[in-house]
Amino acid sequence: MLRAEQIDFYRTQGYLVLERRIPDSLIAEAKDELARFIEMARGMEQSDSVLDLESSHRSDAPRVRRVKLPHKVSPVFDALMRSEWILEPVRDLIGNSVRLHTSKLNLKSAGYGAAVEWHQDWAFYPHTNDDVLAVGVMLDDVGPENGPLLIFPGSHQGEIFDHHAEGYFCGAMSLAKSGLDPADAVALTAPAGSISIHHGRVVHGSDLNRSTRDRALLLYEMTAVDAWPLQGSFSEMGTLEDYDTRILCGDSTIAPRLESVPVRLPIPKPQDVASIYQVQRGLSERTFDVIEGQVGSAAAPHKDQAENQAAG
């Protein structure tokens, strides 16, 4: 369904935005579902296996940062993931056999939604080839002011940057050390119902949402079925049978396609994976600010081990 020039744009720039791809009725359904999850946080004291709470959350004033593995906890998010609205363009980019890596719904709510420090998804889960991407479904209108995804075009063709701090993997990189110029970052802005697709190696992040408009982004991270996770990455396989339950379309294989791709393994893992936020706060050169009283940014903590195991 993608035009040749869109495929070419993705190959050279490392991202694509398809405006108003998802029908309004499905976005409305997804937003109703999201409201239900936010209400579930009322009365909660701490994050659990489904909801990741903002550090400024109070049980009487719920603040959710992320719904973890939305496709597992909601038939609505599962059905959307398996729909042609999502899979059709993905197949055009990485082939007919597609496997889910993981999913999450990042809320970035008005006024306080946490930033995500610069990183490459590939730093968390390198594979034998880089047909690895993330589809973002914009549940709200995304403008420059409410924390859009920021992407460095073309950075998927470069190196894998150091995502370590104090000897441990911390899931975030120093932009200053990378040599990338912040002025070159592109904001992926579009109306609700649009989707973005970004390559697993592209450098990206997003700022705090200080605006008055929410910015919920539903992310489905996918790989070609013959892209095989490297040992040491944040990828749980279990048995082949378990692993293949994540195939969204196409055929199983036990013949990984090997390509010459740059790899820097996310090891050693932080000692206490459950408190990866703690480790990320230790990153000395943060790009994005924190709001007073709010604990630092959330450099892709969704990719923590516990959650990924659940995805398996």
Indicate the residue type of 249.
Answer: C
Candidate residues 217, 248, 279, 283; the one interacting with ligand AKG per rule CB under 6 A: 217
Residues between 134 and 173 with contacts to ligand AKG, criterion CB under 6 A: 149
Residues between 98 and 137 with contacts to ligand AKG, criterion CB under 6 A: 106, 108, 116, 121
Candidate residues 74, 194, 206, 297; the one interacting with ligand AKG per rule CB under 6 A: 206
Residue 147 Cβ, how far from ligand AKG at the closest point, in Å? 6
Residue 275 Cβ, how far from ligand AKG at the closest point, in Å? 18
Residue number, 92 or 121, with CB nearest to ligand AKG: 121
Q: How many residues bind ligand AKG (CB under 6 A)?
A: 11
The contacts of residue 32 (CB under 8 Å, 6+ apart) are none
Residue number, 70 or 97, with CB nearest to ligand AKG: 70
Give yes or no for residue 17 binding ligand AKG (CB under 6 A): no
Residue 78 Cβ, how far from ligand AKG at the closest point, in Å? 19
Give yes or no for residue 302 binding ligand AKG (CB under 6 A): yes
Residue with tokens 């206490």: 272
Residue 150 Cβ, how far from ligand AKG at the closest point, in Å? 8
Candidate residues 300, 307, 308, 311; the one interacting with ligand AKG per rule CB under 6 A: 300
Residue number, 94 or 135, with CB nearest to ligand AKG: 135
Residue number, 256 or 312, with CB nearest to ligand AKG: 312
Residue with tokens 């903002």: 54
Residue number, 213 or 257, with CB nearest to ligand AKG: 213
Residue 79 Cβ, how far from ligand AKG at the closest point, in Å? 22
**Interface residues toward ligand AKG, by CB under 6 A:** 106, 108, 116, 121, 149, 204, 206, 217, 219, 300, 302
